[in-house]
Structure 1
Amino acid sequence: MRFSPFVERIAGQGVAAWDIHHAAFQAASQGEDIIILSVGDPDFATPSFITDAAVNALHMGDSHYTEIPGRPALREAVAARYSNTLDRPLTADNVIIVAGAQNALFISSLCLLQAGDEVLVLDPMYVTYEATLKASGATLVRVPCSAQSGFRLDSQRLAAAITPRTRAMFFSNPNNPTGVVLNPQELQAIADLAIAHDLWVVVDEVYESLVFDGQYHSLAALPGMAERSIVIGSLSKSHAMTGWRIGWLIAAPQLVKHAETLMLSMLYGLPGFVMEAATAAVLAHDQVTEGMREIYRRRRDLVVAGLSACPGIQVQAPQAGMFVLVDVRGTGLSSLEFAWRLFREAGVSVLDAAAFGEPAQGFVRLSFTLGEDRLAEACRRITQFVAKLGGDQGVNRGSNRVLV
């Protein structure tokens, strides 16, 4: 018996990054005192009115097949919200409902790319992008955003990476893992290149509701981008609905039709009761996200303050999202060694950020998705761990500062 080589072909190096999280989860499930900061799963329960919408739908018998592109009411609600965000009229024909942002990324990859194409990605990037894009047969071209620049876009590097085979750009904004939010000038540089070279641009905007510093701007709102951009959204982070697996893809109607053809074979529609909950969530978007954003802002500030005085590490203060990057090069350990030793010796799990891309080599990513008391304890453990490293092997004690 043999298997298709497809899965092995798309598997990226980032898959191994989750080993430490799985080990931490297993240890915690066995009663060990582990603080898990290695995953972006909000600790909040989904707001009760959203859950009630799903429960009520089930009680009403909403357990049958549904429309492939999603229920009209939900698509219209998403279109109405993004009509304001993008400052142009959208309809349900611009929206297809999918099983989370990851599903939307996979659909976008298969709808736009093929073998022989090149696709540009801003590096570091979320770990599943590599496999998602390789599934199409396209070649991934990484455009580094250096740690020295604060992981910001280098538009000259981006322009230099374009070849006659370049078909599209994929990136997240705000970025995971860096928390960087692209400013209007950076977005315009991307748009200018996309228009000049006739490229698709796919923007994963799952953290756009969790921007702490400044205002969020969407690439798809710029002139000339409506017909060549895909916006990916989700309720996972903004509404504490990671397990519901619900999101959307916003694009020109012709592309939405292509996506619908793929959805027919991939999912055959989403559960109706989940879409009823999602409709309630989208209609109450501002009501839900404003409160959550302030909670995450306080948590971010707590973690940044709690670690910024720790000699031997530097904290990359995020503009958005639910993660902090910490530069651990001053400890003398690789980021992978640091992560595993922190877990084994201090009971705190973080991810080696190098799994997200070479520019993040020497950094670890930690989430601030736990309560403030638990985060404060995590900062205390990390500080003690680094201090112990300093006693064991000598830590660069001149490197404690916050990078903004």
Structure 2
Amino acid sequence: MDQTYHGQHFARRVDGLAGETTSVWDIHMRAVADQAAGRDVIVMSVGDPDFATPAPIVESAVAALKAGDTHYTAIIGRDRLRRAIAEEFARKSSRLAGPENVVVTAGAQNALFSASLCLLSPGDEVLVFDPMYVTYEATLKVSGATIVRVPSDPATGFRPDIAALEAAVTERTRAIFFANPNNPTGIVFSPEEVAGIARIATENDLWVVSDEVYAGLTFDADHCHIGALEGMEQRSVTVSSVSKSHAMTGWRCGWLIAPQELVGHVHNLALCMNYGLPGFIQEAGATAMTEALGEADRMQEIYRRRRDIVVAELGKSDLIDVVVPEAGMFLIADIRKTGLDAPTFVAELYREKAVSVLDATAFGASLAGFVRISFAASEAELTEASRRIVAFAEGRAGA
């Protein structure tokens, strides 16, 4: 039955758009508001880089605006940017791809949403590894498909369970969606794990959508592109953006790389959804993908140092067990030894120490008793915040 509010009827899908885990952001929103009001708050609950977009990228956008770049653009993106994306993908994956395989989108989230609507239908099943990024739930459910979660075992460090993935395939399975590197765990899938997913997809004629937003921010493991493996070219969709690699979260410049037929369908969807990305943003994106590629390497080293600081500081408490991330700007920590569940830990930590972290249960049931901590802040802030977290944990355990 359609939802009715004050005499108005809404589509059945509106309830699914919010997902079941949006309340996880309540403490984060409060922290952001308190920080804006001048309170001594440290925000470790979101992956928004704390430094500005590199100057050459900003300058290219400003120059484009001053030159009058304020008109409609090609629906699937300008050729310069699409060519740069294809060339970078080919360089890193050794798989040939051209601009005809690329659609520029309003961030990676828009690319995931587009893939969901163009690949999934009501009655289909889509396999995901648990834990998964918070927005995947609503992004996939809006298509009408059923999400089938494949749990990852904390005892393995949340490695993807390839045998469980294969066992979850049914005649209704249509696709596999996953993030590699993973958010929130920071795990980078091994070549053997990626090959296992590819084998399952090939043998069962499934689509694979790989969210690779953090592929440029790996620390201890090399990233393997599933779309580059034999037999995957016509069944894989690679999603990425410059948001994290170039500190451009607010620019909303992402893309998907896919077979040409799917590119055509995403073009039609974009035609009626956002009608193309602003030209000056695409110019900034093209600069990021050509002249500013070194910025991603610089940021990778910054995040590596930050990770090491947080891991070292939290490691001073026997009550906090950290899963050391191999990529990205987050880590997950098991806080069950404190005697608190995750929602209570998050709420009380903020009330007593003014540090906001995220209840990781929002990413999946396998993370019950864990919190997600972002290290997208200055080294001084991360040191102080980590010490506050340790002091809170030790104090609660003592009590």
On the 8 A contact 2:127/2:175 being kept in 1, the answer is yes
Match of 1:103 in 2: 110
TM-score by length of 2: 0.97
* Matched residue type, 1:341: E
Unaligned runs of 5+ in 2: 1-7
Structure 1 residues 262-277: aligned runs within 5 Å? 262-277=269-284
Alpha-carbon distance in structure 2 between the residues aligned to 1:89 and 1:61? 34
Structure 1 residues 20-169: aligned runs within 5 Å? 20-169=27-176
Match of 2:267 in 1: 260
Task: Confirm whether residue 11 of structure 1 aligns to residue 23 of structure 2.
Answer: no
1:10: Cα distance to partner? 3.4
Alpha-carbon distance in structure 1 between the residues aligned to 2:12 and 2:231? 39
Alpha-carbon distance in structure 1 between the residues aligned to 2:371 and 2:336? 10
**What SS does the aligned partner of 2:164 have?**
helix
Picking from 285, 288, 304, the partner of 1:297 is 304
Alpha-carbon distance in structure 2 between the residues aligned to 1:110 and 1:9? 14
* Matched residue type, 1:263: A
Alpha-carbon distance in structure 1 between the residues aligned to 2:242 and 2:292? 9
TM-score by length of 1: 0.96
1:285: Cα distance to partner? 5.0
* Matched residue type, 2:169: I
Alpha-carbon distance in structure 2 between the residues aligned to 1:284 and 1:209? 16
1:324: Cα distance to partner? 1.1
* Matched residue type, 1:234: S
Structure 1 residues 171-190: aligned runs within 5 Å? 171-190=178-197
Match of 1:203 in 2: 210
Alpha-carbon distance in structure 1 between the residues aligned to 2:212 and 2:201? 18
Alpha-carbon distance in structure 1 between the residues aligned to 2:354 and 2:185? 24
On the 8 A contact 2:185/2:325 being kept in 1, the answer is yes
Alpha-carbon distance in structure 1 between the residues aligned to 2:115 and 2:275? 17
* Matched residue type, 2:124: D
Alpha-carbon distance in structure 2 between the residues aligned to 1:193 and 1:250? 21
Q: Deviations over 1:7-42 (max 9, x none)?
A: 213332221111111111111122211100000000
Alpha-carbon distance in structure 2 between the residues aligned to 1:111 and 1:300? 37
Task: Confirm whether residue 235 of structure 1 aligns to residue 242 of structure 2.
Answer: yes
Task: Confirm whether residue 358 of structure 1 aligns to residue 359 of structure 2.
Answer: no
* Matched residue type, 2:376: T
Task: Confirm whether residue 376 of structure 1 aligns to residue 366 of structure 2.
Answer: no
Alpha-carbon distance in structure 2 between the residues aligned to 1:67 and 1:348? 44
Q: Deviations over 1:144-190 (max 9, x none)?
A: 01111100011110011000000000000000000000001001110
Q: Deviations over 1:219-243 (max 9, x none)?
A: 1111000100000010100000000
**What SS does the aligned partner of 1:201 have?**
strand
Alpha-carbon distance in structure 2 between the residues aligned to 1:286 and 1:274? 17
Alpha-carbon distance in structure 2 between the residues aligned to 1:100 and 1:185? 29
Task: Confirm whether residue 342 of structure 1 aligns to residue 353 of structure 2.
Answer: no
**What SS does the aligned partner of 2:198 have?**
helix
Picking from 243, 246, 253, the partner of 1:246 is 253
Match of 1:315 in 2: 322
Q: Which moved more, 1:213-222 or 1:93-102?
A: 213-222
Q: Deviations over 1:242-274 (max 9, x none)?
A: 000010000111111110000000100110000
Percent identity, aligned pairs only? 54
* Matched residue type, 1:378: A
Match of 2:5 in 1: none
Q: Deviations over 1:96-121 (max 9, x none)?
A: 10000000000000000000000000
**What SS does the aligned partner of 2:227 have?**
helix
On the 8 A contact 2:128/2:147 being kept in 1, the answer is yes
